[in-house]
Amino acid sequence: MTVEEPGDAARKASSYHFDRHAADYRGRFAEVTKELHTQCPVAWSDTYGGHWVVSGYQEVFDIARRADVLSNDHDPNGERRGYQGISIPQNSPTQSGFIEMDPPEQRHYRQALNPYLSPAAVARWKPVAEEVARASIDEKIESGSIDFVDDLANIVPAVLTLAMIGLPLRDWQIYCEPTHALVYTPPEAPDRARVIDQTMHMMGRLYAATAEVRRFPRPGMIDALINAEINGKAPTDDDIAGTLLLLITGGFDTTTALTAHSLEYLGKHPDERERLGRERFALLDSATEEFLRFYTPAPGDGRTISADCEIAGTRLKEGERLWLSWAMANRDPGVFPEPDSIDLARPGNRHTSFGLGIHRCIGSNVARMTFKTMLTAVLDRMPDYVVDPARTVHYETIGVIQGMRHLPATFTPGRPRGKGLNETLDDLQRASDEQRLAEPVTVRRHRAQIDTAAS
Amino acid sequence: MKIRVDPERCQGHTLCSMLAPSLFELDEIDGHSRAVSDEVPAGQEADARGAAASCPEQAIFLS
C-alpha cells in the first residue's frame, strides 16, 4: 500500500472504479473496455488497495516491455522489497514459480525449460496430441453426445503437459480437477475445502515425483529443474514444486478455455465453422490467433513499479501496483478494427494474449499445438455438432481466467478409429518412455513415432 | 527490401514464422526469430510487411 503524497491527487486524476472480480464484469466487459479506452487508458482504481489499470494497446505495449521499472516479484516473507507478485489481489502465501520472479533468476528458469517448450520441441509431440484427441473423441463418438470441456478440452492439455513434465499420463485427473476447480470455486463456497484437499493431494504427488526422479532419473522438465542452476544454486524441492505448479496451472485451464470458447463460437456460427473446415490450410493459423485475441484466456497480470518513472504520460511511483490488461488491449480499435467482432482471417493480429516482454508465456507453442489439434479433430469427426446453450456453463467471474466449465453438444454419431482413452494413454506412456520423448530438443530432435491401430 | 529482427525485442511469439516461413528461422531452443537473409526476395515483400505488422513486440524492421 502506498502512502498518499502531495501531487498524488493530480497524478491519479484519471480514476475509474475497476473491479475485475465483480459478478457483472463478464457481462459488461466490452462496455467497461470502451469506457476506459476513451476516458483513461491508464487509470487509477481504488479497488484492491489501489492500483493502476492499463487498458490501451499502446500504453500496455509501452509499459509491459519495461522490465527495468516493472517487477513481477512476489516476496511474501519480506526478504527483498515485499512486492506482491502478479495477482491483484494477491491470494497466495507462496511465490508462484518464475512468473513471480525477476531476472536473473527468472531468466535462469526459462533457460532450463526452453528446450522442452520451443516450437521445435513441441512439434515432436504432435502425434501424441493427435492420439489423445482421437481417443477422447472415440469415447463419445458412438453416443452422439459430448461435453467439449470434460471430454476433450480438459484432457488433451493435461496429458500433454504431464508428458512433457515427466509425470505418469494416467494420473491426469489428479492434476486436472483441482487445477480447474481452484480457479472457478470462490473462497466462500462450501466446495472450497474439498478443492483444497485435492490440491494438497496434487502437491504431494509433485513432491513425490521429484523425489523419484532424483533417485531414478527420467526425461522431462522435472529432470531439467533438478539439474538446473538458478543464480548458481540448485533449486530446492519447494522451488521445483512451485515451478511444476506454474506449468500445470499455466497450461491447463487457459488452453481449455480457449478451446471451449472457440468451439462454442463455431457452434453458434455454423457458416464460419464450415468455412474453417473447408479453408483449413489458409485459415487455421489466423483463426487460432483471432480466438486468442478475442477470448484472451489469461486476461491480465499484475506488476509492481520498481522505480519512479513516467510512461505513457503518467508518473508512476515505486511500490505502486499496476494491472496490465491483455484482454482490454486486445480490443483496442486503433490496432484491431472492429475489435469486438471475430474475423477468422484478421491480418496484423499482434495480440497480447501470451503477454509482452520477457515473461511471454513459455507454453505458447504447446497451447497453439494442442488447440489446433483438438479443433481439427472436432471439425473432422463431428462437423455438425450443436451446442446446448441451456447447459453451457461459463465461469461466473473472469478476473483470473476467462473460462468455461461445461459445453455440452450433440452430433451425428460415428465410429471409433482406435482404442479407448485409458488403453491409448498406456500405449502413449510406453511410446514416450521407450522413445524418451520428454528429453529436451537438444538431445532428441525427432518426432514421436506412434503406431496407431486403425479399427 | 531489407529485413532485420531485433534480438533485444524478439520474445519468440512465432507469428512471423507462421505467416512467412521462408523469411524467418526460429531458434531450436527458445523459438526466437532471425531473418533467413537480410534481403527480402522479390515477390515476398507483402509477406514481409504482414509479418512485421503481426509481431506483438514490433521487433521486425523493414527498409
Residues of B in contact with A119 (CB under 8 A): 14, 17, 26, 31
- Please state the three-class secondary structure of A345-389 as a single string: CCCCCCCCCCCCHHHCCCCHHHHHHHHHHHHHHHHHHCCCCEECH
B11 and chain A in contact, CB less than 8 A: yes
> Distance from first CA to last CA of chain A, Å, rounded?
63
Residue A184: the pLDDT is 81
Q: Do A350 and B55 touch (CB under 8 A)?
A: yes
Do residues A107 and A390 touch, judged by C-beta distance below 8 A?
no
Grid coordinates belonging to A73 = 516479484
Nearest to A304 by CA among A91, A90, A107, A98: A90
B15 and chain A in contact, CB less than 8 A: yes
**Cα-to-chain-centroid distance, residue A61:** 20
Residue A423: the pLDDT is 98
Residue A1: the pLDDT is 47
ipTM associated with this complex? 0.98
* Residues whose CB falls within 8 Å of the CB of residue A78, separated by 6 or more in sequence, listed in order: none
CA distance, residue B1 to nearest chain A CA (Å): 19
- pLDDT tens digits along B13-59: 999 999 999 999 999 999 999 999 999 999 999 999 999 999 999 99
Residue A146: the pLDDT is 98
Residues of A in contact with B11 (CB under 8 A): 356-358, 360
The DSSP code for A153 is I
Task: State how far the Cα of A11 lies from the Cα of A13, in Å rounded to an integer.
Answer: 6
**Cα-to-chain-centroid distance, residue A277:** 25
- pLDDT tens digits along A151-160: 999 999 999 9
Q: Do A354 and B19 touch (CB under 8 A)?
A: no
Per-residue DSSP letters for A110-174? HHHHHHHHSHHHHHTTHHHHHHHHHHHHHHHHTTTEEEHIIIIITHHHHHHHHHHHT--GGGHHH
My answer on whether omega of the bond before A89 falls inside 30° of 0, hence cis, is yes
Domains, chain B, in order of start with CATH, read 3-62 (3.30.70.20)
3-state secondary structure (DSSP) of residue A101: coil
Cβ neighbours around A187 below 10 Å, total: 6
Q: Do A119 and B26 touch (CB under 8 A)?
A: yes
- pLDDT tens digits along A401-453: 889 999 999 999 999 999 999 999 999 999 999 999 999 999 999 999 998 64
Local confidence pLDDT in tens for the 455 residues of chain A: 455 676 788 788 888 888 988 878 888 999 999 999 998 999 999 999 999 999 999 999 999 999 999 999 999 999 999 999 999 988 788 899 999 999 999 999 999 999 999 999 999 999 999 999 999 999 999 999 999 999 999 999 999 999 999 999 999 999 998 988 888 887 788 888 898 899 999 999 999 999 999 999 999 999 999 999 999 999 999 999 999 999 998 889 999 999 999 999 999 999 999 999 999 999 999 999 999 999 999 999 999 999 999 998 899 999 999 999 999 999 999 999 999 999 999 999 999 999 999 999 999 999 999 999 999 999 999 999 999 999 999 987 777 888 999 999 999 999 999 999 999 999 999 999 999 999 999 999 999 999 864 33
Q: Do A441 and B29 touch (CB under 8 A)?
A: yes
Instruction: Select from 1.10.287.610, 3.30.365.10, 1.10.630.10, 3.10.20.30 the CATH code of A8-435.
Output: 1.10.630.10
b/e code A46-73 from CB counts within 10 Å (16+ = b): ebbeebbbbbbbebbbbbbbbbebbbbb
The DSSP code for A147 is E
Residue B38: the pLDDT is 96
Task: State how far the Cα of A99 lies from the Cα of A109, in Å rounded to an integer.
Answer: 10
Q: Looking at the partner chain, which of B11, B29, B58 has a beta carbon nearest the beta carbon of A442?
A: B29
Task: State how far the Cα of A72 lies from the Cα of A93, in Å rounded to an integer.
Answer: 15
Query: How big is chain A, counted in residues?
Result: 455
Nearest to A224 by CA among A362, A75, A86, A370: A362
- Domains of chain A, residue spans: 8-435
**Pairing label, strands A300-305, A321-325:** antiparallel
Residue A165: the pLDDT is 98
Query: How big is chain B, counted in residues?
Result: 63
3-state secondary structure (DSSP) of residue A98: helix
Q: Do B28 and A118 touch (CB under 8 A)?
A: yes
Do residues A44 and A50 touch, judged by C-beta distance below 8 A?
yes
Do residues A326 and A352 touch, judged by C-beta distance below 8 A?
yes
Nearest to A375 by CA among A264, A239, A226: A264
B34 and chain A in contact, CB less than 8 A: no
CA distance, residue A145 to nearest chain B CA (Å): 34
- pLDDT tens digits along A206-240: 999 999 999 999 999 999 999 999 999 999 999 99
Grid coordinates belonging to A380 = 473432422
B18 and chain A in contact, CB less than 8 A: yes
Q: Do A120 and B14 touch (CB under 8 A)?
A: no
Q: To which residue does cell 531458434 refer? A: B27
Do residues A316 and A305 touch, judged by C-beta distance below 8 A?
yes
